[in-house]
Structure 1
Amino acid sequence: MTISRADREIARLMTLHPKGFDLSLDRIRRLLDRLGNPQDRLPPVIHIAGTNGKGSAAAFSRALLEASGHTAHVHTSPHLVSWHERYRMAAPGGGRFVADEVFAEAIGRVAEANRGETITVFEILTAVGFVLFSEHPADAVILEVGLGGRFDATNVVDRPAVTIVMPISLDHQAYLGDRVELIAAEKAGIMKRGVPVVIGQQESDIARDVLIDTAARLDCPMFVYGQEFLSFSENGRLTYQDDDGLLDLPLPRLPGRHQFANAAAAIAAIKAAGFTLPMQAVEKAMTTVDWPGRMQRLTSGRLAELAPEGAEIWIDGGHNPGAGAVIAEALGEQEERFARPLFLICGMISTKDQTGFFAAFEGIARHVFTVPVAGSEAGVPNDQLATRAAEAGLSAEPINSVAEALVLLRDNWEANEPAPRILICGSLYLMGDVLRENGTPPV
């Protein structure tokens, strides 16, 4: 495989700077000041935090803006297959991943401005995003938080057009705290005085109260799911409701009932940011939205061909108990329509609540194959992960790879049984490995 110039630049930075997170804004502010503070020269910014759903909110926001004839830069993390995925550059007709030469030149320029001083690679790459987005025209920037909010490297935009806080649950406890109210307070750190904030559907009343109290203290115009806006399905359609009235929409292209609330948060946010959303544009956005690696169905490719004939294969990189619950619910809805036995192929990293994730699938999954996560040094050994699944009440066994699990299913499948539904899950690193091996990377 050919290694791009940008990949080589990032690999070099990885050898010079510490890995992981060191939550502080001092280093990136110093670097951005040397670069002329590009974060202050951006189009209107839609800044998104949350434990789960922030990537979906970014995807819906992009779809809504582009369907309305606007252009948008998009910053998301982590990537699945290529670093370039983190920077979708605005273009007429739809954004495109940053070109390699443009990306590599910006990395080199930012690294030179840093002068070898202590900084994390994520901070350098966030600064690269600000440089790219400030130098190329667009109508908006969709900016996803990497970790937390208050001290995340993206939180140097002093006047976003709107902030969004999506569902909050326990995750990254080592950095953000071990209680949901502490995590909510960190995520609420992206709110800015007087700037509109959209508070997405929350699974915890405690988190919701922290977010509302913070927004009130900062005099933020507030749009809270279930109060100022909401969504629900009826007769196979999605209804969005706010003070302006009702929108009767197609169901979102992204599967799962949790996407109804994610779509609603994006609609509310784009409106709060001052953009006009014609009805036809919102309808189009629901049917064109795309978010790879999250309840994505694999219908072809090298790995898909190894599965039992007629099998339905889904991949989702959700990796905490909250994500497990919404994935299980989405698969349960599929089960209501098409009776198929469910098998999981799962790989996870050590910082996640593995047993809590698996607990959502008790009584739903027939069997779990646990696999190593090749793309991360923090991958849980597959035998240990099988033990965690068993602790959650699931039948589980370790196996060497996704491909081996698919072949094992195929070779032992009874012809008189309905073809299985297979969920490959547990880590975005694993999703990246799967999409790469399958030959279907994000575009």
Structure 2
Amino acid sequence: MRLNWPLKMSVTVSRTYNDAVSALNSLQSNYANIMAIRASGDRKNQMNIWEMQEWCRRIGYDTSEFDKLNIIHITGTKGKGSTAAFTQSLLQQYGNKIHKIGLYTSPHLKSVRERIQISGKPICEEKFSRYFFDIWDRLDKTSSSLDKFPHMTPGSKPGYFKYLTLLSFHVFVQEGCDSCIYEVGVGGEYDSTNIIKTPTACGVSLLGIDHTYMLGDTIEEIAWNKGGIFKNNVPAFTIDVQPAAGLKVLEERAHERNVDLQQVPVFKEVKNLKLGLAGDFQVLNASLAVALASQHLTKLGIFSAPLALEKDTTLPQEFKNGLASAEWKGRCQTIQDGKITWLIDGAHTKDSIVAATGWFKSRVVNTKNKKILLFNQQTRDAAALITTLRSCLTPEVKFDRIIFTTNVTWKSGEYSADLVSMNTSKEQVDRLEVQKALRHTWLNLEPNAQIDVVANIETACNIVKRYEEPIEVFVTGSLHLVGGLLVVFDGDK
């Protein structure tokens, strides 16, 4: 599915879920615009927040109204989504005292509805389309001062992520959520979720280098952006293994907001639990979630005081249950399909590749089954990622076959509607430029490797399914790849 609609498109006839997804896809920034912004060196600024506040006004909200949602706000480079999933699972253990729990995360895997969940489930298609067009119509019927907001011309709409952020607030308010968890999209200071005025708690997962064109090239610049979610007198937490330079900046940012940044240790009871999310590194995210949920439940009056941030702290049984039952698809996920073991993680930064590869290695290092790598990363330094991946596995684990694919879903050349992406170069994808470059990089490291370059995920999946003996397939490099693969598994075109 390829779309080229302008941002000023007006939908007036049909109001189905597919219509909503098509309209939403029209709000994506195209590849040329993204490249122009990157080349200009223009990074997000305060206007991004002012515009979000104005969009909220136009759909009928003052941002202070969102305080009644009791929001936990989470950022970080690696692990913020997992932390959000653990936090949601912890709060769900108190369902007799919390009415509805909202969760806003990104990106999605198979369906855009996954980004807006209530009580652990994506909102249904009917509610998504109804609330989506409710906002669309409100924006069509209102206007902004072009002197103050020159980009908000009549008929224009927010970009893709901003629109979904607006939609999430609208959904959670209308559905009566009394606890919400918000995962930052990119950074923090200028992220569209950062219109939240008074969250119940703020958390920062592991810092690393990513999204440099928006956040900066150093860990200090990235930490400054992440620390932008801290609010005056709102408790703030981070893991206790942050890079020293990044931690220093986080502490400075917290001080600006009259907050003592609290470092969360890995709780001994968390380390001894079988967590619902696989991977040794998840103990960091689970421990951070414990601190956030504890503070949140104290704010709501469910706890008399937060849990002590000490390694030997005893956790409530509800917390143990929540950590053990947490789910987060596409992250260290194992799917058994007959003789094929799919080991899936959407890692797309150096740090996350190291972590995911460590998990994969621990699962397969002692098996004699053939091993296949299925990989893509269309927008970041893919060559650096596969070099890191291979070095983490060598010499204990060697792939018998490597498949480099695009993120296109089907052999027809189409994407699943919810997975349409306009932020990559269609020409590069069609010419398989990234995939051919990846093959060249790998062959320089391993000249005799068996490598396939394919144009879509369906074709890659068919190659794997030809094997008759037991095989283990490591799928990584991109959440878009993982999502497309899950769609192919479903066979729903």
Q: TM-score, normalised by structure 1?
A: 0.83
The structural deviation recorded for 1:261 is: 0.8
Decide whether aligned partners of structure 1 residues 409 and 81 sit closer, same or farther in structure 2, where only a CA change above 3 A counts: closer
Residue of structure 2 in register with 1:5 after alignment: 16
SS at match of 2:133: helix
- Note if 1:100 corresponds to 2:125: yes
1:287 and 1:358 mapped to 2: Cα distance? 34
Residue of structure 1 in register with 2:403 after alignment: 369
Which of 74, 90, 101 pairs up with 2:103? 74
Query: How is 1:35-434 mapped onto 2 (pairs within 5 angstroms)?
Result: 35-37=60-62, 40-41=65-66, 42-69=68-95, 70=98, 71-90=100-119, 95-115=120-140, 116-117=155-156, 119-202=158-241, 204-225=243-264, 229-231=265-267, 239-240=269-270, 250-273=273-296, 274=298, 276=303, 279-300=316-337, 309=339, 311-335=340-364, 338=367, 340=369, 342-362=371-391, 363=394, 364-366=397-399, 367-374=401-408, 375=419, 376-377=421-422, 378=424, 381-390=434-443, 395=449, 397-400=451-454, 401-405=456-460, 407-408=462-463, 411=466, 419-434=470-485
User: Do 2:28 and 2:159's aligned partners in 1 also have CA atoms closer than 8 Å?
Assistant: yes
Moved more, 102-111 or 18-27: 18-27
1:224 and 1:339 mapped to 2: Cα distance? 42
2:22 and 2:63 mapped to 1: Cα distance? 24
SS at match of 2:198: coil
Decide whether aligned partners of structure 1 residues 126 and 412 sit closer, same or farther in structure 2, where only a CA change above 3 A counts: closer
1:405 and 1:429 mapped to 2: Cα distance? 14
User: What does the per-residue CA deviation read over 1:34-86, in whole Å, with 9 as the maximum and x for residues that have no partner?
Assistant: 22226623321111111110110011001101023234100011111111111
Which of 20, 31, 36 pairs up with 2:55? 31
What is the alpha-carbon root mean square deviation over aligned residues? 2.8
SS at match of 1:141: strand
User: Do 1:356 and 1:392's aligned partners in 2 also have CA atoms closer than 8 Å?
Assistant: no
Decide whether aligned partners of structure 1 residues 16 and 147 sit closer, same or farther in structure 2, where only a CA change above 3 A counts: closer
1:410 and 1:139 mapped to 2: Cα distance? 46
2:86 and 2:110 mapped to 1: Cα distance? 21
The structural deviation recorded for 1:347 is: 1.3
Gaps of 5+ in 1: 233-238, 241-247
The structural deviation recorded for 1:397 is: 2.1
Aligned positions, number: 408
The structural deviation recorded for 1:171 is: 1.0
User: Do 2:407 and 2:457's aligned partners in 1 also have CA atoms closer than 8 Å?
Assistant: no
- Structure with greater strand share of residues: 1
User: Do 2:15 and 2:133's aligned partners in 1 also have CA atoms closer than 8 Å?
Assistant: no
User: Which has the larger Rg?
Assistant: 2
Counterpart code for 1:110: I
Decide whether aligned partners of structure 1 residues 420 and 17 sit closer, same or farther in structure 2, where only a CA change above 3 A counts: closer
Residue of structure 2 in register with 1:236 after alignment: none
User: What does the per-residue CA deviation read over 1:208-239, in whole Å, with 9 as the maximum and x for residues that have no partner?
Assistant: 222122223322142213xxx3235xxxxxx2
2:324 and 2:368 mapped to 1: Cα distance? 25
Counterpart code for 1:107: F
2:450 and 2:234 mapped to 1: Cα distance? 48
User: Do 2:104 and 2:116's aligned partners in 1 also have CA atoms closer than 8 Å?
Assistant: yes
1:391 and 1:171 mapped to 2: Cα distance? 26
The structural deviation recorded for 1:292 is: 0.8
User: Do 2:70 and 2:199's aligned partners in 1 also have CA atoms closer than 8 Å?
Assistant: yes
Residue of structure 1 in register with 2:490 after alignment: 439
User: Do 1:195 and 1:221's aligned partners in 2 also have CA atoms closer than 8 Å?
Assistant: no
Counterpart code for 2:282: Q
Gaps of 5+ in 2: 2-13, 38-42, 141-154, 308-314, 409-418
2:322 and 2:368 mapped to 1: Cα distance? 30
Counterpart code for 2:329: P
SS at match of 1:73: strand
Decide whether aligned partners of structure 1 residues 157 and 412 sit closer, same or farther in structure 2, where only a CA change above 3 A counts: closer
The structural deviation recorded for 1:426 is: 1.1
1:410 and 1:99 mapped to 2: Cα distance? 33
The structural deviation recorded for 1:101 is: 2.2
Identity of aligned residues (%): 23
Residue of structure 1 in register with 2:7 after alignment: none
The structural deviation recorded for 1:18 is: 4.1
The structural deviation recorded for 1:345 is: 0.4
Decide whether aligned partners of structure 1 residues 200 and 6 sit closer, same or farther in structure 2, where only a CA change above 3 A counts: farther
The structural deviation recorded for 1:348 is: 1.1
The structural deviation recorded for 1:390 is: 4.5
Moved more, 400-409 or 348-357: 400-409
User: What does the per-residue CA deviation read over 1:394-433, in whole Å, with 9 as the maximum and x for residues that have no partner?
Assistant: 94623324454455456567x6xxx432111111111111
